[in-house]
Structure 1
Amino acid sequence: MMKIKFTLLLFLFSLVSFAQEFNASVTVNAEQTGRTKLSIFKTLEGAVEDLINQNTWTDNDLDNHEKIDCNFFINVTEYSQDNFRATIQVQASRPVYGSTTSTPIFNFKDNQFDFRYTEFQPLDYNPNTYSSNLVSTIAFYVYTILGIDADTFSPEGGDKYHQEAVLIVNTAQQGNAQGWQTSSGNQSRFRLNADLLSNNFAQFRAALYTYHREGLDMMHTDVEAGKLKIVEAIQMLQDVNRSRPNSILIRSFFDAKSDEIKNILSGGPQVNLTEVLSSLKRMAPIYNKNWNAIRN
């Protein structure tokens, strides 16, 4: 009887120790194919969601409220004989300390997402082997999200996750799919990962920490101090933009943050916004409608 109890305790402990890290929602849109009734699209949706949510990606022990919320939108433009031509948009957020709200930390659209998938095939990630472009791409974004999330909690906290993403980039190159090579362009998975680990963008990652941990997470105790830190983080990004204009990291940051920044800078204690508004308009002119709407 004691042996049975001990075995049960070990089993329960393993469930606690290896909790999954994500609350992921996956949507597969196949309207452009004209074949939306095919069951393979719904099967693919569930398989990718299980790959993200049911795997253990780290050794972190997380409570449910600490899990990362994320959305994966796969837009299939062509489908024929298990070959998919698609785009994927990935969004993620994390809780804001001392509040019931969350903050977006990643919003990225990848237009280089062609893959092969046979209905009901298992999707398993093994860091040492290449199985498919589908699995590699999803795993890459999982570790990129983990890295960016960790960067918001501690300086360069995401290094080990970005390094894991490097391994995926290197392994996936043998599949010859677009997005993994230097030649894939400035909006590729290769470029996203390379910039995150480049010394040229160290201040970008430092700005993530300043914005989130020293800014947003502190606003529940001192709104003005938190707001000033967010202004400081934006100016840090401007320093990065001066040396590396129109980078993939700066673009993805404002794709995630433009609405939030407008709301934060428009509310709460008044701070001097002249310089920061000028910086926002230089870095992200596509969001000038938001910047022009800011009223301190």
Structure 2
Amino acid sequence: MRKLLFVCLLINVFVQGRAQELNCTVTINSEQVSQTNQQVFKTLERSLNDFVNKNKWTNRVYKENERVNAQMFITITEYESDRFKGNIQIQSSRPVYNTSYESSVFNYKDNQFDFQYIEFQPLVFNENVFESNLVGVISYYVYIILGLDADTFSLEGGTDFYRKAQNIVTQAQGGSYTGWSQSSDRSRFELVDNLLSNTYKEYRIAMYNYHRKGLDIMADNNSTGKQIIAGTMKLFETMINRRPNAFLIQTFFDAKSEEIRNIFSDGPKVDIVKLKNTLNKIAPLYSSTWNDITY
């Protein structure tokens, strides 16, 4: 009996130590498609959930509580035979130290998503060959999610993940699918290229400072945490001065605008006038949100 218990404990430790990297929900919306048989969409949804959550994406060891929380919402706008067209919305978050709060890290909509899929077709990722645009796009965003999450916990911790995503982009260049081209505006190429570019180095420093040095200490020292987050906004100002309308800055505030408003609308004061001026300069699309900071 003791031997059996010991074996069970070992298995439990092994399973927890080998947990996959993502805790991701994939949802397929096919309401815009005139298709009476919805089974293919349900099968695709189940297959994608298994593909994302059961695949081992890295050699790193993740504990169960370290899995990255994420969602992928795929809206199908056109469907004929085995061809699908639509968009994909990707969201991810990470826990804040000493709280039950989940902070949004990535909130991005990719409108260039077309692929071929036959029901019950196995989804297999091969990092050396680009065989499926469906697998390629999903795998690309898995590595972007993992990279951004790692960047919030250690300075430039996501580099290896971005390299994996960049490799997928390189392999996709020879195909005819949209969203990968170097010449396209705000493409998958541009996103990962910017993340790895020294031109936008402040972005990754800001990701680390905002989350690890700012949010993660707010439960114990709210004032210092807020000051660090306010100071982090100046890094984006440096980026704007070098590259106006930088793509990465928009991706940051698409995920963070509501959170920033809430942080600075309560608790210890900072120089709100100065902060608003900075925010309106670096993220003018969210001026109405910044105007709601009234503390």
Q: CA deviation at 1:13?
A: 5.6
Q: Is the 8 A contact 1:112 1:179 kept in 2?
A: yes
The match for 1:49 is 49
Q: Does 1:280 align with 2:279?
A: yes
Q: Is the 8 A contact 2:82 2:117 kept in 1?
A: yes
In 2: Cα distance, 1:168 partner to 1:106 partner: 20
Residue 295 of structure 1 aligns with an amino acid whose one-letter code is T
- TM (norm. structure 2) is 0.94
Q: Superposed, which structure 2 residues align to 1:162-241 within 5 Å?
A: 162-185=162-185, 187-241=186-240
Q: CA deviation at 1:17?
A: 3.5
Residue 229 of structure 1 aligns with an amino acid whose one-letter code is I
1:77-134 C-alpha deviation (Å, 9 max, x unpaired):
1000110111111000000011111100001111111100111101111111212001
Residue 130 of structure 1 aligns with an amino acid whose one-letter code is F
In 2: Cα distance, 1:35 partner to 1:288 partner: 42
In 2: Cα distance, 1:70 partner to 1:37 partner: 28
Q: CA deviation at 1:66?
A: 1.9
Q: Is the 8 A contact 1:26 1:72 kept in 2?
A: yes
Q: Superposed, which structure 2 residues align to 1:26-65 within 5 Å?
A: 26-35=26-35, 37-65=37-65
In 2: Cα distance, 1:101 partner to 1:257 partner: 14
Residue 236 of structure 1 aligns with an amino acid whose one-letter code is L
Q: CA deviation at 1:273?
A: 2.0
Q: Superposed, which structure 2 residues align to 1:138-149 within 5 Å?
A: 138-149=138-149
Structure 1 stretch 217-226 or stretch 7-16: which is displaced more? 7-16
* 1:98 aligned counterpart, secondary structure: coil
Q: Superposed, which structure 2 residues align to 1:81-100 within 5 Å?
A: 81-100=81-100
Q: Is the 8 A contact 2:239 2:246 kept in 1?
A: no
In 1: Cα distance, 2:256 partner to 2:217 partner: 18
* Percent of aligned positions that are identical: 46
- TM (norm. structure 1) is 0.94
In 2: Cα distance, 1:37 partner to 1:139 partner: 28
Q: Is the 8 A contact 2:16 2:63 kept in 1?
A: no
Q: Is the 8 A contact 2:86 2:114 kept in 1?
A: yes
Q: CA deviation at 1:227?
A: 0.3
1:172-191 C-alpha deviation (Å, 9 max, x unpaired):
22332111121222x21000
In 2: Cα distance, 1:9 partner to 1:221 partner: 36
In 2: Cα distance, 1:6 partner to 1:92 partner: 37
Q: Is the 8 A contact 2:18 2:63 kept in 1?
A: no
The match for 1:102 is 102
Task: Provide structure 1 residue ranges, at least 5 long, that are not aligned to the other structure.
Answer: none
Q: CA deviation at 1:282?
A: 2.1
Q: Is the 8 A contact 1:169 1:180 kept in 2?
A: yes
Q: Is the 8 A contact 1:84 1:117 kept in 2?
A: yes
In 2: Cα distance, 1:42 partner to 1:105 partner: 28
In 2: Cα distance, 1:63 partner to 1:155 partner: 21
Structure 1 stretch 8-17 or stretch 266-275: which is displaced more? 8-17
Q: CA deviation at 1:63?
A: 2.8
Q: Is the 8 A contact 2:17 2:64 kept in 1?
A: no
Task: Provide structure 2 residue ranges, at least 5 long, that are not aligned to the other structure.
Answer: none
In 1: Cα distance, 2:17 partner to 2:220 partner: 32
Residue 243 of structure 1 aligns with an amino acid whose one-letter code is R
In 1: Cα distance, 2:105 partner to 2:248 partner: 12
Q: CA deviation at 1:6?
A: 9.9
1:3-53 C-alpha deviation (Å, 9 max, x unpaired):
999998876565333211111111111111122642111111111111110
In 2: Cα distance, 1:184 partner to 1:13 partner: 46
Q: Is the 8 A contact 2:51 2:123 kept in 1?
A: yes
Residue 280 of structure 2 aligns with an amino acid whose one-letter code is K
